[in-house]
Amino acid sequence: MMRPLSLTAALVCLGLVAPAPAAAQLAVGGNLGWMFDTEVDRLSLGADARYTLKDNRWALNPRFTYFLWSEGSSGWQIDGNLLYRFRVASSEKVQPYVGLGLGLVSTSFKSGTTNSSESVVGTNLISGFNLQTASKLKPWLHVQYTAALDFGNTFIGFMGVSYPIGK
């Protein structure tokens, strides 16, 4: 079990530091999220990057999310996603996309004298849209379902903003 987790974590981390292709556009930003499928809904904070590839329809999307849980509990998720942007007129304000990726989810819980923690890899399914604005700041919204099988699945709504770096 540790070998697949290590390999996946290494691949996700490589996506976080890999240089963008020559014709790519890099955008970085942050996000707020809300986890809907738990007994107690949970807020999250995250960092997001998007490497838009040459054809402007595909983007690599590494992301880190920290879950703001109750005292004694903590969690985080590292994602490596591939997003596909649907072709719409450049004058359209809403630009929809879908995505698929992998997420490494880690949680720790403390109850009295008992501590437990677990990490697991899940599959991400994403649907969302970018909003075109007159400024360089680009807001986006999306929902992400992470299927982590025995661990438990998460359904999170994110809203964020990206800022293009470079060209």
Q: How is residue 160 annotated by DSSP?
A: E
Confidence tier at 1 by pLDDT (50, 70, 90): very low
Segment 76-128, tens digit of pLDDT: 899 999 999 998 887 789 999 999 999 998 888 777 777 888 888 999 999 99
Q: How many CA atoms lie within 13 A of 120 on its CB side?
A: 16
Confidence tier at 129 by pLDDT (50, 70, 90): very high
| Res. 156: pLDDT tops 70 | yes
Strands 154-165 and 25-35: antiparallel
Separation CA 59–CA 51 (nearest Å):
5
Domains of the chain: 2-16+28-165 (2.40.160.20)
Q: Is 140:164 a contact under the CB 8 Å cutoff?
A: no
DSSP H stretches of helix in the chain = 2-17
Q: Is 25:166 a contact under the CB 8 Å cutoff?
A: yes
55 backbone dihedrals φ, ψ, rounded to 5°:
-80, -5
